[in-house]
Chain A
């Protein structure tokens, strides 16, 4: 099937054969196409890592910046031009480790952007060290005595921050991944989707079978609008719940709160400075 967001030419993808990133890319391409977004209005933002290379494999505009720093850039891009669809993408090291502080504050701001975190519980590009979501006991060339830190629970963290869209999927279920991605992108406000994926090169513990055995779809009738219930659900581990854990329409977005858009919705780049007003401001100092 032809997809406007896929490159017409073959693209040289730097991921390992069998990597979960391929199915995430497949889901994202399908999600973008099915949402019928205008290609020129989509911006992918990423930091550094294997997941953060995603923007190079989708035919859109992108800002592939520094390790951990995708969210501040994404927040500003959306703030300066709310007409753009801004999607940040990165790995667990990028977004939960190096960029952890920005995640907290993106939660506070609630920009209308989407964040996809490829969560494989290990550092891939730096060759196999522990990540903030590595499970206790995992031995690596650096954590030679095994990981003993408590893993970050991004779902519970996001719900605590009242991030208005919090979901987790497993990349092997491309259909659910795509559907949740579509809802996340369409959701007005900050949306976090944690995407479980195996790392075929460096994580020999959390392999495809492990994710299969340790995840469970949310039951029918689950109510994602109940924050306290969602928080409780987010604390469940092994099996980890899959699906939209929390969704709320109760928060105004960062852009909606910005004074510059209260009377005028146009992007900043289209506006001109009123030099007469600048002059008046200068004269106010007389």
Chain B
């Protein structure tokens, strides 16, 4: 069976938790990107520390692609269950490389990783051998592999390092010699100079550039990655990172931190965020800035803890009792994750509102290369004033935004109260003042609107069918529409969800057919669109089994819809 893979390769590693999928992926990510390949990986895993059936899909391509594919070109199953686990993603075209005595699959290429590992010094080296095998197949420079491995294991003993070098060479030789498979993906030297990072890392770097100096959280999948990243930055930057006793404590700590002049970030997921809702309401009442990263996972309740969904939009839109403004962002790319998180801190400080960054497990755990984030023009905007004796924290102003003082900076008193309050911040039951205070808070919507980021149109402006998506699905949906090859189908992606961008109305109204793709069961964004613009979608493509959308299924759904002449689906 001779195969030539010319421009785009999907390698899937499948194994139990604890077998080392992550370490193989970690090695491959750096080596493939260093070689000039565009790299993208996405992981799906069970909520357990050992055992189960997990997989990581690695995409290696000549041009930048970060869509998730069902297709598997090469499968490395590390255990028997990998084959049934991946089901019909394995086709006759899938090249399976594994160990005969462990895995029974017709046409499988037998490479004895375990035996080779034993010869190298122990079973522990099997992962490095597997990584070497892929490197050999993809013609990564062998010397580079050796150098990288030495660095990767730099903290280990001399014996472990040299054994790993031997292991990568052994794997390399096996991969290079694989009969019949030729990989001819073009390398791009520019990729070597790009960043390689996960969604979590991009969010954390954005926070760093946004002047974040206080992080508090309660660990919860899939949001913990951002907490861990920030903790690692805290080794070099003046950032307080505190693991709090519960999420209620988290949000109240974050508000205390902003009150005292810090720039606090909260990172959480569904259930944790649900616990914070009263605190979000407090944030609205005391007009505190707040930046909250919410990595979505399927609910209700504990749901599927390690899986992905876009099901918390409604919650974030409405979290907290009472009326108050908020901003909701949802990055679609690593570059957006960095830029929007950075901006979130300035927006929060400028408008004194909670700013939410909505991601999901798929986005946060994915890894890819992206051009270096520009820092040049970025500024940390504090929007803090030095107070005078007569300072009033909630002074009534033209645009609803009162200059924000902080205690200890100036001679004034900074009084924040969860009760309805007067301009100075004291409890009031003056009901006429109550109305003015509500109006003041809501006025800030107008100030926020000045900063709104319009949705991005990808494709011809001359579309008949418009495919709308938001947040993490950007790359997958764009690739699906591109693969469809229909000239009159375009994509409209929202990275700023709320306040709803008015500019979107014209795009939406122009479409003869409107399709909304989103990862939840009730078409939450389609309903928001209808509420805000009056435009009903003609079809919703929904997914809520915990896995990300794939390029193939989105393409297929759009195709079916167009073939049926449009306007056949449920209206949301």
Residues of A at under 8 Å CB distance from B?
Answer: 14, 39-41, 43, 45, 48, 53, 55-56, 59-66, 69, 72-81, 83-84, 101-102, 104-105, 258-260, 264, 267-269, 271-275, 277-279, 281-283, 285-286
Contact of A269 among B250, B260, B278, B413 (CB under 8 A): B260
Contact between A74 and B372, CB atoms less than 8 A apart? no
Residues of chain A lying within 8 A (CB to CB) of residue B216: 76
Residues of chain A lying within 8 A (CB to CB) of residue B244: 72, 105
Residues of chain B lying within 8 A (CB to CB) of residue A259: 234
B407 interfacial contact with A, CB 8 Å:
yes
Q: B192's closest neighbor in chain A, by CB?
A: A286
Contact between A72 and B208, CB atoms less than 8 A apart? no
Give the distance to chain B from A212, nearest Cβ to Cβ, in Å. Answer: 33
B173 interfacial contact with A, CB 8 Å:
no
Residues of chain A lying within 8 A (CB to CB) of residue B375: 275, 278-279, 282
Interface residues of B in 507-543 (CB under 8 A from A): none
Contact between B208 and A63, CB atoms less than 8 A apart? no
Known: A275-B378, A285-B197, A286-B196. A74 touches B256 (CB 8 A): yes
* A-B contact list, 19 entries, CB within 8 Å: A40-B408, A40-B410, A60-B413, A61-B408, A61-B413, A62-B416, A64-B417, A65-B286, A76-B259, A77-B260, A77-B407, A102-B249, A105-B245, A105-B249, A258-B240, A259-B234, A260-B238, A272-B380, A282-B372
CA distance A122 to B240 in the complex (A): 38
Q: A262's closest neighbor in chain B, by CB?
A: B238
Contact between A63 and B427, CB atoms less than 8 A apart? no
Q: B238's closest neighbor in chain A, by CB?
A: A260
Residues of B at under 8 Å CB distance from A?
Answer: 193-197, 201, 205, 208-209, 211, 213-214, 216, 233-234, 236-240, 242, 244-246, 248-250, 252-257, 259-262, 264, 278-279, 282, 286, 372-373, 375, 378, 380, 382, 384, 406-419, 425-427
Q: Which of B216, B259, B279, B410 is the most central at the interface, judged by chain A CB atoms within 10 Å of its CB? A: B259
Top 6 closest A-B pairs, CB basis?
A: A269-B261, A73-B256, A76-B256, A80-B260, A61-B407, A105-B245
CA distance A76 to B259 in the complex (A): 9
CA distance A274 to B380 in the complex (A): 10
Residues of chain B lying within 8 A (CB to CB) of residue A258: 240
Give the distance to chain B from A215, nearest Cβ to Cβ, in Å. Answer: 32
Contact between B245 and A271, CB atoms less than 8 A apart? no
Contact between A286 and B194, CB atoms less than 8 A apart? yes
Contact of B408 among A63, A72, A267 (CB under 8 A): A267
Contact between A81 and B201, CB atoms less than 8 A apart? no
Residues of chain A lying within 8 A (CB to CB) of residue B411: 40
CA distance A48 to B285 in the complex (A): 14
Known: A61-B415, A268-B261. A282 touches B195 (CB 8 A): yes
Known: A73-B253, A102-B245. A66 touches B259 (CB 8 A): no
CA distance A140 to B375 in the complex (A): 63
Give the distance to chain B from A146, nearest Cβ to Cβ, in Å. Answer: 31
Contact between A40 and B427, CB atoms less than 8 A apart? no
Contact of A48 among B193, B195, B407, B418 (CB under 8 A): B418
Residues of chain B lying within 8 A (CB to CB) of residue A65: 252, 255-256, 282, 286, 416, 418
Contact between A277 and B260, CB atoms less than 8 A apart? no
Residues of chain A lying within 8 A (CB to CB) of residue B282: 65-66
Residues of chain A lying within 8 A (CB to CB) of residue B245: 101-102, 104-105
Known: A62-B416, A267-B261, A271-B213. A79 touches B240 (CB 8 A): yes
CA distance A259 to B261 in the complex (A): 18
Residues of chain B lying within 8 A (CB to CB) of residue A278: 205, 208-209, 375
Give the distance to chain A from B394, nearest Cβ to Cβ, in Å. Answer: 13
CA distance A78 to B261 in the complex (A): 11
Residues of chain A lying within 8 A (CB to CB) of residue B194: 286
Contact between B427 and A268, CB atoms less than 8 A apart? no
CA distance A279 to B213 in the complex (A): 16
Give the distance to chain B from A6, nearest Cβ to Cβ, in Å. Answer: 13
Known: A40-B412, A76-B216. A81 touches B261 (CB 8 A): yes
Give the distance to chain B from A105, nearest Cβ to Cβ, in Å. Answer: 4
Contact between B257 and A282, CB atoms less than 8 A apart? no
Contact between A75 and B408, CB atoms less than 8 A apart? no
CA distance A269 to B201 in the complex (A): 25
Contact between A260 and B418, CB atoms less than 8 A apart? no
CA distance A214 to B323 in the complex (A): 48
Give the distance to chain B from A252, nearest Cβ to Cβ, in Å. Answer: 16
Contact between A277 and B408, CB atoms less than 8 A apart? no
Give the distance to chain A from B440, nearest Cβ to Cβ, in Å. Answer: 19
CA distance A78 to B282 in the complex (A): 19
Q: B195's closest neighbor in chain A, by CB?
A: A285
Contact between B239 and A260, CB atoms less than 8 A apart? yes
Q: A269's closest neighbor in chain B, by CB?
A: B261
A40-B407, A267-B260, A268-B214 known, 13 other contacts, Cβ within 8 Å: A40-B410, A65-B252, A75-B253, A76-B256, A79-B214, A79-B260, A80-B213, A80-B262, A271-B213, A275-B378, A278-B208, A278-B375, A281-B237
Residues of chain B lying within 8 A (CB to CB) of residue A80: 213-214, 240, 256-257, 260-262
Q: A68's closest neighbor in chain B, by CB?
A: B248
CA distance A211 to B426 in the complex (A): 33
CA distance A105 to B250 in the complex (A): 12
Known: A53-B427, A64-B419, A275-B209. A81 touches B407 (CB 8 A): yes
Give the distance to chain A from B251, nearest Cβ to Cβ, in Å. Answer: 8
Residues of chain B lying within 8 A (CB to CB) of residue A59: 413
Residues of chain B lying within 8 A (CB to CB) of residue A63: 255-256, 259, 286, 416
Q: B255's closest neighbor in chain A, by CB?
A: A73
Contact between B249 and A69, CB atoms less than 8 A apart? yes
CA distance A207 to B373 in the complex (A): 66
CA distance A72 to B426 in the complex (A): 21
Contact of A264 among B238, B407, B413 (CB under 8 A): B238
Q: Which of A53, A83, A102, A264 is the most central at the interface, judged by chain B CB atoms within 10 Å of its CB? A: A102
Known: A64-B417, A269-B261, A286-B196. A260 touches B249 (CB 8 A): no
Residues of chain A lying within 8 A (CB to CB) of residue B233: 281
Q: A258's closest neighbor in chain B, by CB?
A: B240
Residues of chain A lying within 8 A (CB to CB) of residue B373: 282
Residues of chain B lying within 8 A (CB to CB) of residue A279: 375
Q: A74's closest neighbor in chain B, by CB?
A: B256
Residues of chain A lying within 8 A (CB to CB) of residue B382: 269
Q: A254's closest neighbor in chain B, by CB?
A: B242
Contact between A75 and B256, CB atoms less than 8 A apart? yes
CA distance A268 to B211 in the complex (A): 11
CA distance A56 to B413 in the complex (A): 12
CA distance A258 to B427 in the complex (A): 35
CA distance A82 to B222 in the complex (A): 33
Contact of B240 among A43, A48, A101, A268 (CB under 8 A): A268
CA distance A286 to B414 in the complex (A): 44
Contact between B378 and A66, CB atoms less than 8 A apart? no
